[in-house]
Structure 1
Amino acid sequence: MKARLVQDGIFTLIEDITQTIEAPEHGFYWIDADVDDLTILQPLFHLHELAVEDCLTEEEQRPKIELYDTHYFIVVNSIRFDDEEIFLRALNIFLGKHYIITVTRQKINELRALKPVLWEEEVGAPDRFLYHLIDLVVDNYTNVGDRIEAKIEKLEEDILMNTKKSHLNEIIGLRSEILWLKKVLVPQKEVIATLNRKELRLISDPLKKYFGDIYENAVKISENFDTFRDLMANLREAYQSSLSNRANEIMRIFTALTTIFMPLTFITGIYGMNFEHIPGIHWEYGGVAAVILMFVIGISMFVLFRKKGWL
Structure 2
Amino acid sequence: MKIRLVSDGVFNPIDDIQTTLTAPPAGFYWIDADVDDLALLQPLFSLHDLAVEDCLSEEEQRPKIEIYESHYFIVVNSIRFDDEEIFLRSLNVFLGRHYIITVTKQKIHELRSLKPILWEQEVNTPDRFLYLLIDLVVDNYFTVSDRIEAKIEKLEEDILMHTKKSHLNEIIGLRSEILWLKKVLGPQKELINTLNKRDLRLIDDQLQKYFSDIYENAVKISETFDTFRDLMGNLREAYQSSIANRANEIMRVFTAITTIFMPLTVITGIYGMNFDNIPELHWKYSYFTVIGVMVVLAISMVLIFRKKDWI
Both structures adopt the same fold (TM-score exceeding 0.5): yes
Query: Residue by residue, what CA displacement relative to the aligned partner does 1:166-225 show, whole Å, maximum 9, x if unpaired?
Result: 000000000000000001000000110000000101111111221100000000000000
Q: Let me know the Cα RMSD of the aligned residues.
A: 0.6
Secondary structure of the 2:210 match is helix
Q: How does 1:162-311 map to 2 (within 5 A)?
A: 162-311=162-311
| TM-score, with length taken from structure 2 | 0.99
Residue type of the alignment partner of 1:12: N
Q: How many residues are aligned here? A: 311
Q: Distance in 1 between matches of 2:280 and 2:205?
A: 106
Residue correspondence of structure 1 range 1-311 to structure 2 within 5 A: 1-311=1-311
Whichever residue aligns with residue 249 of structure 1, its letter is E
Give the whole-Å Cα distance in 1 for the aligned partners of 2:137 and 2:21.
Answer: 28
How many percent identity over aligned positions?
77
State how far apart, in whole Å, the 2-side matches of 1:207 and 1:283 are: 106
Measured in 2, the distance between the counterparts of 1:60 and 1:75 equals 11
- TM-superposed CA distance for 1:126, in Å, is 0.3
Q: Which runs of 5+ in 2 are unaligned?
A: none
| Aligned-partner Cα distance in 2 for 1:280–1:161 | 53
1:80-110 deviation per Cα after TM superposition (whole angstroms, max 9, x unaligned): 1111111111100000010000000110000
Distance, in Å, in 1 between the alignment partners of 2:310 and 2:194 is 64
The unaligned stretches of length 5 or more in structure 1 are none
Partner Cα separation in structure 2 for residue 237 and residue 45 of structure 1: 56
1:23 shift after superposition: 0.2
Q: Give secondary structure in 1 for the equivalent of 2:209.
A: helix
Displacement over 2 Å in runs of 4+: none
State how far apart, in whole Å, the 2-side matches of 1:208 and 1:252 are: 66
SS in 2 for 1:41: helix
